[in-house]
Structure 1
Amino acid sequence: MVIDLNADLGEGFGVWRLGDDEALLDVVTSANIACGFHAGDPLTIRRTCAAAVDRGVTIGAQVSYRDLVGFGRREMDVEPEELCAEVLYQLGAVDGIARAMGGAVSYVKPHGALYNRICRDPEQAEAVVAAVADYDRALPVLTLSGSVVHEIAAREGVTTVVEAFADRAYTGAGTLLSRRFPDAVLHDPGTVAARAVRMATERLVDAVDGTRVTVDARSICVHGDTPDAVALARAVREGLIAAGVTLKAFA
């Protein structure tokens, strides 16, 4: 049993700081670094990339809709050509800084509303996949099981990797429960760790309607923007290791 543990990092902006990137980088195996469209700025990206390289943590580009005010979590309608160009722009920015720090972007993970949109919208998914293919076809895209991205990426020769979310509630359809609902994000370290272990060892998670959803994931995510993110990530890491799971980046 081999699992990657990823978290969203570099989500500060200017003097505003969000989360404890340094502490999380001591826990995770992959870092989804904000590219400046939903969060992050050049200095934050540089510092986060440098810290990831120092710790041997794999760097991913967390591309997003251009939505700083809404933290990339607002649904947006962007023309496919424009979306492709914006994703390409973000990839180039973070990969350039990562390389200057001695690393490189090794995968792509869309953020927030874009992540959820391309799970079900073929047109938007095609735009994101086209940007990845234009930049580096070898970069895998991290997405949910059952996402339309899998088929579209396969046609373009782009690899996809399935991830699951230890700290998010699931619907019976296998999608993430909208953050509009109060129980969409889980905060208890014990509960989150137990869910992660079950995801890794049994490939299952309990949905909010009581059904069991299959999550055949290679990577498990813990969000970095919640106040208890470090405690959650540590609990997940310790729980997985205790269950005999090997933690290793997928990229």
Structure 2
Amino acid sequence: MAKSPAKPRVGSGAESPLQPPRILVVDDDPTVAEVVAGYLVRAGYRVDRAGDGPAALARAAAYRPDLVVLDLMLPGMDGLEVCRRLRGHGPVPVIMLTARGDEEDRILGLEVGADDYVTKPFSPRELVLRVESVLRRTRPSLVRAPRPPSAAGLTVDLAARKVFKDGTELVLTLREFDLLVFFLRNPGRAFAREELMREVWGWDFGELSTVTVHVRRLRSKVEDDPAQPRLIQTVWGVGYRFDPAGREAD
């Protein structure tokens, strides 16, 4: 008599190696959870969310995460207890979030198994970098080097933070480099200056002329004719769009 096929084990973590890492975000503040999840999704991760300790444990059991972003101050069951229980079922990297910056809290978090500790308020972009760093250290097999963006004769060396145009290195500031990489990774889409400030600068508010100035400076370095830009185009009433084909703006 033929045996019935074995049922898949829930939370076994036996995902395809081609799948991006799964991150569980645990925070009772829906705004914080939404912003963090959004940045992680845009960085290429799969993201699950939970608003309290029991929900986080249930979610982790059903879909074993590759890393947990865990708020310390949760209702009912705090983040320390959640971290203890998560680590009791197997090793999983944890980045602890807290609104308190006391050294005692940080030490307690690290003692129960947290791999990193971030104090609120924090930059979502910084948190994404912390996630990448922890995964690279704890689960290097899951971390794949991102494909360097390139278009219109522009090539990027992400590790060295260098940009070349037709083989010649361009001298860019830190923020000009980040802005160009963002454009290269999001071709053809129009972004408002508010979006660029949030995505590139990691700021939810600020002087929007900062974006305008940086776009102008970047154009002076990547455009053949900065006075008539074809790569970084102005979308009137919206903001800016990167056109890798370098076509004339409408």
TM tier, smaller? 0.3 to 0.5
Q: TM-score, normalised by structure 2?
A: 0.32
Which structure is richer in relative contact order (CA contacts within 8 A, separation 6 or more)?
Answer: 1
